[in-house]
Amino acid sequence: MTAPIHETVRDHYARIALHVVDDPCCGGNADCCGTTNYSAAELASLPEAAALASLGCGNPIAVAELLEGERVLDLGSGGGIDVLLSAQRVGPTGRAFGLDMTEEMLALARRNATAAGAANVEFLKGHIEAIPLPAASVDVVISNCVINLAADKPAVFNEIARVLRPGGRLGVSDIVADDDLTPAERAERGSYVGCIAGALSFTEYREGLRAAGLEDVSISPTHAETPGMTSAIIRARKPAAGA
């Protein structure tokens, strides 16, 4: 099941990346230009192509509380909007990593980083189920409507816990299903690449993060996406050393 999901998601977002520069907002594609959650000042600080390739359901930067000098990882970084905003927050002594499995998105993100003059960023190719970074190497993990696309969500949660330093934190935007919706009912409400069919329920999300060893898990709904499906802010923390 993992490989077909990866291929479906990769093909979908590769097409979006290829269309962004020549066809703003991907020709009206509803999956593109998800910039309504960003401030005018944030958007003005970025290359236009980074904003055009914004595909998320929220703004994890607004809740991640990034600090100067921190190392932050964005899962499914796409065109790089959240990486570039993170790089501004953590400053020259910090570092922002973006992880994506799509070559076309990585090429777009690197182009955007060059246009922004961002020297403290690095884009990595790989899957969020197998993050290509050492254990305990980042202070913060963010993501914008990407974990719901993962084929193996327990693996994602375990990888997040692995790469976080003790005391490190998770702050993501994602789509979450009501607990009473079955997987089949979620699929009826939208596609996998549309961030609906693969969404976890509120209980599944909490239990998955806790099973990976994270604590202080909270899920705060922000707005409804479709009946029974809600955009939400998810926070968690890795226990401090010796806790």
Which tens digit of pLDDT belongs to each residue from 53-89? 555 667 778 778 899 999 999 999 988 989 999 999 9
Establish if 178 belongs to a structural domain.
yes
How many alpha carbons fall within 13 Å on the CB side of residue 156? 25
Does the residue 242 lie in any domain?
no
Give the pLDDT score at 220: 95
Q: What CATH number did the domain enclosing 225 receive?
A: 3.40.50.150
State the burial class of residue 72 (Cβ atoms within 10 Å of its Cβ: 0-12, 13-18, 19+).
buried
Interval 218-233: pLDDT, tens: 999 998 888 888 989 9
pTM for this entry: 0.83
In a domain, 214, yes or no: yes
User: Does 230 fall in a domain?
Assistant: yes
Within-domain flag for 182: yes
- Pick from 111, 118, 144: which is nearest to 21 by CA? 111
AA identity, residue 88: Q
Q: Does 81 reside within a domain?
A: yes
Tens of pLDDT, residues 146-188: 898 888 999 999 999 999 999 999 999 999 999 998 888 887 7
Inter-CA distances, 13 with 40, 108, 177, 242, Å: 25, 12, 23, 41
Domain that holds residue 207: 2-237
Task: Report if residue 59 sits inside a domain.
Answer: yes
Domain count, the chain: 1
Residue 150 lies in a domain: yes
Contact assessment for residue 129 and residue 152, using Cβ atoms and an 8 Å cutoff: yes
Q: How far is CA 84 from CA 16, 18, 112, 233, in A?
A: 19, 20, 8, 20
